[in-house]
Amino acid sequence: MAVSQHRDGHDRDSEDGGKAVALCPGESLPSLETMTPFPDYPTPADEEERLRSLERTLLLDSESDADLDRITTLASETLDTPIALISLVDRERQWFLSRVGLEASQTPRSMAFCAHAITQQCSTLVVPDALDDSRFNTNPLVVSEPKIRFYAGAQLRPQDGQPLGTLCVIDRTPRQFSPRQLRWLQLFSEQVSREIELRQRLARCPITGFFNRRSFEMLCQKEFERARRTHGTLTLLLLRVENLDQVRGLAEATAPDGLVGELAERFSALAAEPDLLGRYSDACFAMLLVGASPEREQAVSDTLRSASVRSLHPQLLIGMSRLDAEDLSAVDLLIRADNALFLARAVEPIKPSPGP
């Protein structure tokens, strides 16, 4: 957990009437270099997949949310703790999506109790007295301000099941939680997980379930950064259904709706777990292949070109680009794929669609 020093050096009342943790005038957090070494946090075996799931919530560094703030306030008041947090555990930090009783918006992951909580087999970590726990009794936030003693955190596990962080409550005095209080904490965390799922839907096309253009481009950049770190490969396909209006009209003669959704299902069937799917416009889709071999690139491209739905034959044009050593960002990848798609449209006229 964390602490911050206000500009005026004084405690500042939080909205619920409690005190937000602050340091005294002239105080600062002790340097990690001068502190007694404390145990490193454990890392989940599937950490890269967990981080990818966290990134694709698009919640990191987002604006405050009144609905989530209400949950943390209820958790603080119901469980009678001065601090309640919704903590998302990122690669090097924990970032607070919502907080009550604390001014800081993030802390290093190395100090985070929540970094331990997300690795628990059970969904909840309770630390009755941090000074009696070898994992935390030399932690700077325990031995110095804010002198955390009690911690209880319940994992946040949205739809894909990855532990993204916790709903946690902390106190400066040792204490125990009853089974009933643990159940309340779990219920609060489940509600936060549902709220996260709702926000994820807002970033997606309601028909296809693919990310909208803005979200897709943001996540492409995240995958670009990951590929640079891991020396991985990326292949971007921009897919345009050139005769969508014709095909849609024929489809509506035999079925009311769902053609675009059915096309999306065909695209989804070709995507592997880490791949990214987006809807760029009414007739344009995007697929980012993560770590794909040249053979898989070709197989996906060939399958897409021969796609058919309800015995109809969409004319699918493809613009493809691969990550290049000179690319500075995902924008370079996107521009090359868009240029390739433009050239494909220039050389291939729209073909009449056969009837159903």
pLDDT in tens, 83-136: 999 999 999 999 999 999 988 899 999 999 999 999 988 889 999 999 999 999
- The CATH number given to 12-202 is 3.30.450.40
Place of tokens 């000074």: 131
Amino acid at 344: A
- pLDDT, tens only, 243-263: 666 555 544 544 434 667 777
Cross-strand partners of 95:
88, 106
**28 burial via Cβ count (<10 Å: 0-12, 13-18, 19+):** exposed
**CA–CA separation, 256 and 259 (whole Å):** 9
Token pair for 140: 């700077």
Amino acid at 57: T
> Cis before residue 356, ω within 30 degrees of 0?
no
Ranges of each domain in the chain: 12-202, 211-347
> Residue length, the chain?
356
Q: What is the pTM of this model?
A: 0.79
Q: What is the pLDDT of residue 19?
A: 42
- pLDDT, tens only, 283-315: 889 999 999 998 998 899 888 877 655 545 667
- pLDDT, tens only, 151-200: 999 999 998 789 999 999 999 999 999 999 999 999 999 999 999 999 99
Q: What is the mean pLDDT of the chain?
A: 83
Select the more confidently predicted residue: 118 or 8: 118
Q: What is the pLDDT of residue 22?
A: 37
- pLDDT, tens only, 31-74: 444 445 567 888 988 999 999 999 999 999 998 889 999 999 99
**Architecture per CATH, 211-347:** 2-Layer Sandwich (3.30)
CA distances from 94 to 19, 29, 164, 218 (A): 22, 17, 10, 20
**CA–CA separation, 63 and 128 (whole Å):** 32
